[in-house]
Amino acid sequence: MNVLIEEKTDNKNGVTIFVEGEVDVYTAPQLREKLLPLCQNGKTVYVDLSKVDYIDSTGLGVLIGAYKAQRATAGRLVLKGVNARIYRLLRITGLHEVIEIEDRKQEDGKV
Partner 1 sequence: MNIDLQKQYEKLLTSYIQDTREDHLYGAQQLSKWILQQRVPPEEVVSIHIATIKNLLPDLPNEVKISFDFLIEVMIGYGVAYQDRDHLVNRQRELEDEIEVAVRMQQTLLPKSPPPLEGVDIGVLSVAANRMSGDYYNFVDHGQGSLGIAISDIIGKGIPAALCMSMIKYSMDRFDDQPLSPSEVLRGLNTVVERNVDSSMFITMVYGVYDSLNHHFRYATAGHEPGLVYKASDGEFHDLETQGLVLGVAKDVDYPEYTIELSLGDAIILFSDGVTECKVDGKFLQREQLKQIICEYLELPAQQAVEAIYQRLFEMTKYSMKDDQTIMIIKRVESLS
Contact footprint for partner 1 (CB under 8 A):
25, 32, 56-58, 60-62, 64-65, 67-69, 92-95, 97-98
User: Which residue lies nearer to partner 1 by CB, 4 or 98?
Assistant: 98
* CB of 90 vs partner 1, minimal distance in Å: 10
What residues contact residue 105 under an 8 Å CB cut-off, 6+ apart?
50, 81, 82, 83, 84
CB of 94 to partner 1, least distance (A): 3
Cβ proximity to partner 1: between 35 and 49 the closer is: 35
* Exposed/middle/buried for residue 24 (C-beta within 10 Å: 0-12, 13-18, 19+): middle
Which CB, 2 or 12, lies closer to partner 1? 2
User: Are the C-beta atoms of 17 and 34 separated by less than 8 Å?
Assistant: yes
3-state secondary structure of 18: strand
From the CB of 106, what's the least distance to partner 1, in Å? 21
